[in-house]
Structure 1
Amino acid sequence: MAGRLVVAGGGQAAFALVAKLRALKDERPITIVAGEASFPYQRPPLSKKYLLREMDLERLLYRPAAWYGEHDIDIRLSTTVTAIDRAARTVSLSDGSILDYETLAIATGSTPRRLPDAVGGNLEGVYVVRDFIDADKLADEMKPGRRALIIGGGYIGLEAAAVARNLGLDVTVIEMADRILQRVASAATSSIVREIHTTRGVDIREGAGLVRLVGIDGRVTAAELTDGTTLPVDLVIVGIGVVANDTIAHDAGLAVANGILVDEFGRTEDPAIHAMGDCAVLPFKGLNIRLESVQNAVDQAEAVAALLAGGSAPYEPKPWFWSDQYDVKLQIAGFGLGHDETIVRAGQREGSVSVWYFRQGKFIAVDAINDAKAYVTGKKLLDLGVTPERAALEDPATDLKTLLQ
């Protein structure tokens, strides 16, 4: 039997790794060191169905508590790995104990960026949503007629804006960049998503940053913006990106760059240590990137599990993402970074549309808004490495299925 696998982290990637290992009949001892008090659970619903009280924590769990014992997995809740001794192959834990390992998997995820205290980030009524405790506190604030300010026009901020509007709050989104979704989507997609929100009453202010939050008796009451305006607010949701949790790797002398650098097998510089999920920087088409998605966390972790169980296949990312806002489903296949052209194509159903991304004439990604057929077709084309004929794609009469022939 192989020696102990220690997994630092208790999120999606950590669970996917150990579940796949056991599915592959790998019987090595496993210890998960999970920082939260809860058994591993889904995070995407926290800013959607859980916040809307349509799901409870028990429904978010990947598996019930008994599953871990049944599969001989030691899980230590409310505990973190604080240090790695690579020479001794041990990890120190926050409870003072030390664990030996043959293999260490770092799946510590990422942490939302918070506003500095100097601009009011420590005021009551200012939130980020990283775990169910954050979501519980925020849900208590979401009452009709209250004024919510969302700082950041990325997917997390826009999903929060959609939930707040659905609950009857007055919502303003501020985005310091020239447009919402500028870091992750095309101008065409930004325009489509902007209209989805503005038609539902969200005030979106692009090119507007925060100067500071103002409070009375420690509670946020207003926001001063870089455009010179002051907004009265009752609560603030901060969605300004995340920072990879790579401190323990950095302190152990491993290479990091807002994430832990790994190869195509998920290995760090130390062959006994792997990293996966949001905390890992991996190779993809000549780039070193972090893929912040459930899909990547699962697929990369399962690829590492297969390797540990005796396989030899590298991880080949096939990115896909999704975002639910109101009754709109945005599905994304591929990775549009560096695109130099887009084609916007109307779908067959009212309100459906897709944006197709190209770089130097090659098809690299698709954003499908309420258009499952465009998403499925685009994903298959990407899997096949096929660039569709431009004329056919631009013709609204073209059946997308024919692009696969």
Structure 2
Amino acid sequence: MRRLSHTSHPGHAADEPRGFEKPVGMRDYLPEAVRKLRLIEERVGRLFGLWGYDEVMTPTLEYDETVGGASSTLNHKQFKLLDKHGNTLVLRPDMTTPIARVVASVLRHEPLPLRLSYCAHIFRAQENEAGRSAEFKQMGVELIGDASPDGDAEMLALAIESLKVCSVEPFQLAIGHVGFLNAFLRHCIGDDKAIEQLKSYLNDYDYVGYREAVAQLSLGGDAKRRLNELLAWRGGKALLQERMAEAASVEEREALDHLRKVWEALDVYGVTPFVTLDLSMIGKMNYYTGIYFEGYAEDHGFPLLSGGRYDALLARFGRSAAAVGFQLKVDRVLDVSPLTEDQKEHVLIVYDPSERFEALRSARKWRQKGRRVTMQVGSELEKADVEKLSERYDEVVCVEGGSGGDG
């Protein structure tokens, strides 16, 4: 199998020369990977545009006191540096927070709703965690100013289409609701510290730790039973009806009713076969307030995309507005997508400087016909090099004595 890229991992001895090593979590992309990456970006970017989303670009560096402080990425996971004036800057740890800043400042006079998209590199320090990238690419969309179930359904349907255009199959989206989960846990427990502990286990998908923590709570048997049953609350529309019948609070019922309306809209989109409800889900970013979802390919444990509703984030920048979005983790899609680019026929022209004019004339004609042409002066090549190089090309042409052909 051809290597597409290489990610650095911990294990470098402090007293050894670094040589060709990269910082932990950084990744090289080889030509084949770059071609595939650009194809994914092109397809997904075109899709976002067709759905009415306008692309924005934000700085790689932001002020720590604004974007860094508002981001849900933990402080020790952020790359920080000082500018020459002593201001603390941060390499953007996510794109949702910078877009919230843009909407509340540069676009503050634009009427809502706004539909924005992006394609950007994200940076997060990984503290020697093998297999985790410290720099990675995301593509995503944000719908600002629409709190309706239809807004959520649009986001979910677009997420599904994003995986489709990348030829990822089979895949499934799991949907939860942070508002429901918080209301359910508050009703069962009422202890904020215990709630945060259980949410931490759910966040890490550590169901063994979750059950052990539930067992240690000073609660009645019925409350513990319901807390353990939460892990099995997965399914389709029927699950919502079952949970609605047993909902113990207004907040739970409102969240379930919202999910019901989202499901009905998804049914019209025709995408419910790609969707599963999972009421134990909670996003890693603490700004989520409503639906939360993740998209998985079969036999891959890491989500290819994630997103949800974050209705309180923009208020931190002075413009209160409902919002929902998702981010496609392009590096992970790169590893699972079977997409390949249709390669143009590639010709290598080996020439002597005395035949430069003829070589350039031939190259120009082939390029006008859409063929890739590489020119290489022959004096820089050994015979063995020519034989090895020929494996990269569909055709090798040597321009000698005024020959070269027209292709």
- Normalization by structure 2: what TM-score? 0.24
Of Structure 1 and Structure 2, which has the larger fraction of its residues in strand? 1
Which of the pair has the greater relative contact order for Cα pairs under 8 Å at 6+ separation? 2
- Normalization by structure 1: what TM-score? 0.24
